[in-house]
Amino acid sequence: MRRLRKVKIVATLGPASETYETIRALHEAGADVFRLNMSHGTHDEIRAKHQIIRQVEQDLDSPIAILADLQGPKLRVGTFVNEAEELAEGAAFRLDLDPAPGDAGRVCLPHPEIFQVLEPGAHLLVNDGKIRLKVLDCGPDFAECTVVTGGTISNRKGVNVPDVVLPLAALSDKDRDDLEFACALGVDWLALSFVQRARDVFEARALADGRAAILSKIEKPAAVEAFDAILDASDGIMVARGDLGVELPVAAVPPIQKRLVRKCRAAAKPVIVATQMLESMIESPMPTRAEVSDVATAIYEGTDAIMLSAESAAGQYPLEAVRTMDNVAVEVEADPTYTQIIAASRTAKGTTIADGIVAAAREIAEKTDIKAICCFTQSGTTALLTARERPGVPIIAMTSLLATARRLCLSWGCHCVITPELERFKGAVVNAARAARAGGFAIETDQIVVTAGVPFNVPGTTNILRVAPCDERLIYNTDPG
Ranges of each domain in the chain: 8-73+169-335, 84-160, 353-478
| The pLDDT of residue 481 is above 60 | no
Mean pLDDT value across residues 82-104 = 96
The whole-number pLDDT of residue 380 equals 94
> Based on C-alpha coordinates, what's the Rg of the chain?
24
Fold of the domain built from segment(s) 8-73+169-335 = TIM Barrel (3.20.20)
Write out pLDDT tens, residues 350-392: 778 989 999 999 999 999 999 999 999 999 999 999 999 999 9
Given a cut of 80, whether residue 174 has pLDDT beyond it is: yes
First to last CA, the chain: 31
Three-state SS sequence of 193-253:
CCCCCHHHHHHHHHHHCCCCEEEEEECCHHHHHCHHHHHHHCCEEEEEHHHHHHHCCHHHH
| Rounded percentage of the chain residues whose pLDDT exceeds 70 | 98
Tell how strand 213-218 and strand 236-240 pair up. Answer: parallel
What would the pLDDT profile of 237-295 be if each residue is shown by its tens digit? 999 998 899 889 999 999 999 999 999 999 999 999 999 999 999 999 999 999 999 99
Average pLDDT of span 173-185: 97
Q: What is the reported pLDDT for 479?
A: 53
- The reported pLDDT for the residue numbered 233 is 98
Secondary structure of the chain: what % helix, strand, coil (to 5)?
40, 25, 35
Tell me, what's the pLDDT at 461? 75
Backbone angles phi, psi at 106, to 5 degrees: -165, 165
**305-362 pLDDT, tens digit each:** 999 999 999 999 999 999 999 999 999 999 999 999 999 998 766 778 989 999 999 9
Asked whether 383 and 395 are in contact (CB, 8 A), the reply is: yes
Contact 139, 97 (CB under 8 A): no
Collapsing DSSP to helix, strand or coil, 155 comes out as coil
The confidence score (pLDDT) of residue 411 equals 98
What integer pLDDT is reported at residue 347 of this predicted model? 79
Q: Is the CATH number of domain 84-160 3.50.50.60?
A: no
Q: Residues 296, 306, 280, 157: is their CA dihedral positive or negative?
A: negative
What is the average per-residue pLDDT within 175-204?
96
pLDDT for 423 equals 80
Q: According to the model, what pLDDT value does residue 179 have?
A: 98
**pTM of the predicted model, to two decimals?**
0.93
Alpha-carbon distance of 432 to 167, in angstroms, equals 51
Give the per-residue pLDDT at 335: 97
> What positions carry a catalytic annotation?
35, 76, 217, 275
What rounded mean pLDDT belongs to the chain? 94
pLDDT band, very low/low/confident/very high, at 166 (cuts 50, 70, 90): confident
**CATH numeric code, 353-478:** 3.40.1380.20
CA-to-CA distance for 195 and 73, rounded, in angstroms? Answer: 10
